[in-house]
Structure 1
């Protein structure tokens, strides 16, 4: 459903993407007023329509990322379907796709074929590792985006394995895809030219750990997993509260915040000395500090702690 007042009103998007990341980009554009047409293969519908292996029935995943779109089915292995798809491209402003690199071209619907149908068309392609390079043909989905990009290895506790990242990578990947699509539309308005935009979600994962990459490149130091902690804020963590499996997240980012936090806790004697007097000392004695803070939070519910803070 389009909104005549939306910033993308009048833009038509042919959305051939599947799973979550690509369709989420189409969803965002639809919510901004674009007319988005979801195209699925009649021979193989979007995987998110399938019954969930745990629940035994379709999960709401498909509706979550495909709301506000029009819908069509085409068997892209049939020549007539390709003709219809190219006709759709002629009346669209941009095409979204998330097939494995090379598949769209083999179907006869790659960028060069699109340009012949409409010279100023914009094609935005989403993949794990990009459309070219030594690992371009590796398939991937959300957990692999983070793992290959390096983010996954830094997520988790020091004494445990890396933590799998799923929807966060899909949705941030979708936001990046939508942003690049809108940027390409802006460029087209200025130059009257279309383009093929190559979006690698692996690169997105790497963009989240720029500090760690530079630390290793410049100083040879390898960043380790540190759970809920932070290199700058101390204390920072998730602390047990009163009640069954009740927790609260606390992060102190400045000396003024620390003084205020100590006051909220009732100015305990352990917080008065030099041991926790500045951020570096608090970070150095983080384990001990977590124990002391947990003794205080354990007396209160998460709501009570939040209200006090």
Structure 2
């Protein structure tokens, strides 16, 4: 895919990605999708491990096509002082640095936040780690699965009579990445209103807005999603636990099985919606029961209400059930697989898939970019790059001539 120049809302913003796998790269992926110029640093000996994760084409992950779209790949041996020096030069020229190593690793390489801030006061560094940059656990390895567990998500996921389950995606990493994007945008706004981008000079000639470190812990990003858990426990001693497909304390909202064995989600928990739902399924007695008119009256009778809805669902095949409830203006939906998504009229109408092709012409669909901006939408300018594909371009921009670049290659610095 031919590289295109960015015209997005972040065009002109320079981002340096020092990270691997999911949290850091997903964070910079979103910035790249909306126009930022992202340089991704990879180890020369194999690059980011996600290149070999899940389903592969010609030895490279299909996931890579999405996770690293619009990024430039530069290889650097960060154990070599020359590699560290190049990384530092790129970091000082960046508007935003995104990293997800263990705390202390960047400091060991001389590109930590405090190292860069001394030279460039406008430095914005987004640091994503398992437990954050402080605290007794900061030096421990922390993956998304651990963040989901410590942050409370796993405790409430699954059925009450079985062990907790994981959501089928790396949600902890992705939530941390989204918090990183939000933090980066807020920090960039603050930098710009306090003086703007660093002018590259030091001492009395230095002109720069105020940068800052954005400290994102995976477990805290998950914890931030946990709704009313803290005040409920503090005030009433309530420990929310696993409730299967139901939404605890909000009735009815659950997963039900139809006559043909399909599963649908019905959310009839609004008071007016509940009345329409029960009327639609032939339970006027419940629709007109004063005790069930409000959620606090329905909660004690959750089992009875769910039983009535399930009994009705068991008498209908899924298409009929969906049609009846949609006609009654009740929120209802089939649980989609990716196969369902790819042919669904809503997904297609919203253009949620993009058609691309590999360099050999093999077609490939990617998920479209969200959120949708009316005037400056994101775009896929190119698919995930080959390892070190942009070495020459980036190093020449730093002033390296061809002979010096060749030497760095021969000595396995890049």
TM-score past 0.5 threshold: yes
Q: Give the alignment partner of residue 187 of structure 1, picking from 185, 190, 193.
A: 190
Instruction: Find the residue that maps to 1:285 and give its secondary structure.
Output: helix
Instruction: Give the conservation status (yes or no) of the 8 Å contact 2:246–2:255.
Output: no
User: Are residues 1:213 and 2:213 paired?
Assistant: no
Whole-angstrom distance in 2 between the partners of 1:54 and 1:68: 20
Query: What is the match of residue 177 of structure 1?
Result: 180
Indicate which of 300, 303, 321 corresponds to 1:284.
Answer: 300
1:67, distance to aligned residue in structure 2 (A):
0.9
What residue number does 1:233 align with? Answer: 250
Q: Report the CA distance between 1:299 and its aligned residue.
A: 3.0
**How much has 1:242 moved relative to structure 2?**
3.0
CA 1:274 to 1:121, structure 2 compared with 1: closer, same or farther past 3 Å? Answer: closer
Distance 1:295 1:41 in 2: 58
- Distance change (3 Å), C-alpha of 1:118 and 1:275: closer
The alpha-carbon distance between structure 1 residues 131 and 2, as it changes in their structure 2 partners (threshold 3 A), is farther
Q: Give the unaligned 5+ runs of structure 1.
A: none
- Rate the CA distance shift 1:53–1:306 in 2: closer, same or farther, 3 A: closer
Residue 74 (structure 1) aligned with residue 66 (structure 2): no
| Greater Cα shift, 260-269 or 24-33 | 260-269
Tell me, yes or no, if the aligned pair for 1:18 and 1:47 is still in contact at 8 Å: yes
Once residues 19 and 171 of structure 1 are traced to their aligned partners in structure 2, the CA distance between those partners, rounded to angstroms, is 11
CA distance in structure 2 between the partners assigned to 1:96 and 1:236 by the alignment: 39
The yes-or-no answer on 1:301 pairing with 2:312 is no
Q: Is the 8 A contact 1:235 1:289 kept in 2?
A: yes
> Which residue number corresponds to residue 109 of structure 1?
111
Instruction: Give TM-score scaled by structure 2 length.
Output: 0.68
Tell me, yes or no, if structure 1 residue 27 matches structure 2 residue 44.
no
Aligned to 2:155: 153
Runs of 5+ unmatched residues, structure 2: 195-208, 326-414
Q: Distance in 1 between matches of 2:322 and 2:278?
A: 14
Correspondence for 1:242:
259
TM-score (norm 1): 0.90
CA distance in 1, matches of 2:288, 2:213: 61
**SS at the partner of 2:39?**
strand
Q: Report the equivalent of 1:46.
A: 48
RMSD: 2.5
- Spell out, residue by residue over 1:216-270, the C-alpha distance to the aligned partner (whole angstroms, 9 max, x if none): 22333322222222244211110001324x1100011222111111222134667
Alignment size in residue pairs: 308
SS in 2 for 1:126: strand
